[in-house]
Amino acid sequence: MARYLTDTDTDTGIQALATEAGLRERLGGCGALGLAAAFTLAATAALNTLVALATFLLVQVEFEDPRLAGLDSVGPFQTLGAVTWLGWLFVGLTATALPGSWTRSAAAGGLLLTIALPPVAAVAG
């Protein structure tokens, strides 16, 4: 059933319709009929968001001069979190350039880095 836009529709309504139609077209093109079929799209969006966050935090936080923040530096970085951000950037690179098995292994490594970071930071002080 098609819905036609009228003069009373707002920009937000138009954007919502466009997003809904875009997602329906994207999922329908893959033969997706249910929620389980949307997992690949959700995983791609999650990985892209994670890589963008890792890039932002690495550039905005870790590459700042530690003396300005009054922190002890960890090599050229401010915190141990830089190792985790670099790990997730590596996952993003493997997702674009290498087969799925490599990407799954890299994602497992990134997850292990993320889980291991708080205990290691507590021990390191």
pTM to 2 decimals? Answer: 0.64
CA separation for the pair 92, 105 (Å, rounded): 12
Contact 106, 115 (CB under 8 A): no
Q: What is the pLDDT of residues 3-61, one digit of tens each?
A: 555 545 455 555 565 666 666 665 565 555 667 767 877 888 888 899 999 999 888 88
Query: How wide is the angle at C-alpha 67 spanned by C-alphas 121 and 81, nearest 5°?
Result: 25
Contact 66, 72 (CB under 8 A): yes
Higher pLDDT among residues 125 and 123, named by residue: 123
Report helix, strand or coil for 74: strand
